């Protein structure tokens, strides 16, 4: 499992579903990615197990998830003609 790279923290605001958070520019300067000519920063925010000494309730970390690349081609599934498919036993 990849170790999380924490870049900031946040605090839930009142009784709303809002979290105000602060991110350190220094810790994200090398994490920006370019896609279709635009720059993006992928982040994840989650609840802390306990509120810290500054009242922070959430942590922010870099989202470094990379999906696995498929190397094998997807095989087509042969289908039977509709007339050969089993008929469902419906109660109505």
In total, how many domains does the chain have?
A: 1
Predicted confidence (pLDDT) per residue in 19-71, tens digit: 998 898 899 999 998 989 999 999 999 999 999 999 999 999 999 877 777 77
Kindly report the pTM of this predicted structure.
0.63
With a CB cutoff of 8 Å and minimum separation 6, the contacts of 3 are none
Distance CA 65, CA 31 (A): 12
- Would you say residue 91 has pLDDT above 70? no
Q: Does residue 86 lie in a domain region?
A: no
| Cβ–Cβ under 8 Å, residues 56 and 48 | yes
Q: Does residue 1 lie in a domain region?
A: no
| Domain extent for 54 | 6-65
């Amino acid at each position: 499992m990849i170790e999380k790279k924490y870049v900031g923290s946040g605090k839930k605001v009142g009784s709303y579903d809002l979290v105000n958070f602060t991110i350190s520019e220094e810790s994200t300067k090398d994490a920006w990615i370019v896609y279709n000519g635009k720059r993006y920063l992928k982040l994840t925010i989650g609840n802390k197990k306990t509120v810290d000494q500054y009242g922070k309730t959430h942590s922010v970390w870099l989202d470094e998830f990379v999906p696995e690349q498929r190397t094998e081609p997807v095989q087509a599934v042969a289908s039977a003609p509709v007339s050969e498919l089993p008929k469902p036993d419906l109660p109505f």
